[in-house]
Amino acid sequence: MSPATTKQLATSGLSLPSDTYIYSLARTATLCAAISSDDSLRYFDPTNLSLVHTVSKAHEGITCLKATSDGKGLVTAGRDGVVRCWDERAKSAGVKMAD
């Protein structure tokens, strides 16, 4: 049996600076998101991987990204001890939880 072959559909650098690593990816109802080692949160179109919006310095040391259960937002956390809930429509943190 021959190994399965795959076809590359799209590629994107998501406008990341060189030497930047993507830590995590998440999918909302309409967009995808990525957090990376430059502490940014990037929204991108899942159909063509084009960048939609960037939140620079979303955290001091961003570490976690999860989509909300309803698919309408994202939750991030960082080494700064802050948890933020992001509304993808507003592209901003609607809720900030910290000590």
Which segments within the chain are labelled E, that is strand? 22-27, 32-36, 41-44, 51-55, 62-67, 73-78, 83-87, 92-97
Asked if residue 93 is part of any domain, the answer here is yes
Asked if residue 11 is part of any domain, the answer here is no
How many domains would you assign to the chain?
1
Q: How confident is the model at residue 11 (pLDDT cuts 50, 70, 90)?
A: low
State the CATH number of the domain containing residue 74: 2.40.10.480
Asked if residue 51 is part of any domain, the answer here is yes
- The whole-angstrom separation of Cα 90 and Cα 24 is 21
**Residues 59-85, mean pLDDT to the nearest whole number:** 93
- The whole-angstrom separation of Cα 80 and Cα 97 is 11
Asked if residue 28 is part of any domain, the answer here is yes
CA 21 to centroid of chain Cα atoms: 12
Asked if residue 35 is part of any domain, the answer here is yes
Asked if residue 3 is part of any domain, the answer here is no
**Residues 42-55, mean pLDDT to the nearest whole number:** 92
| pLDDT confidence of residue 1 | 63
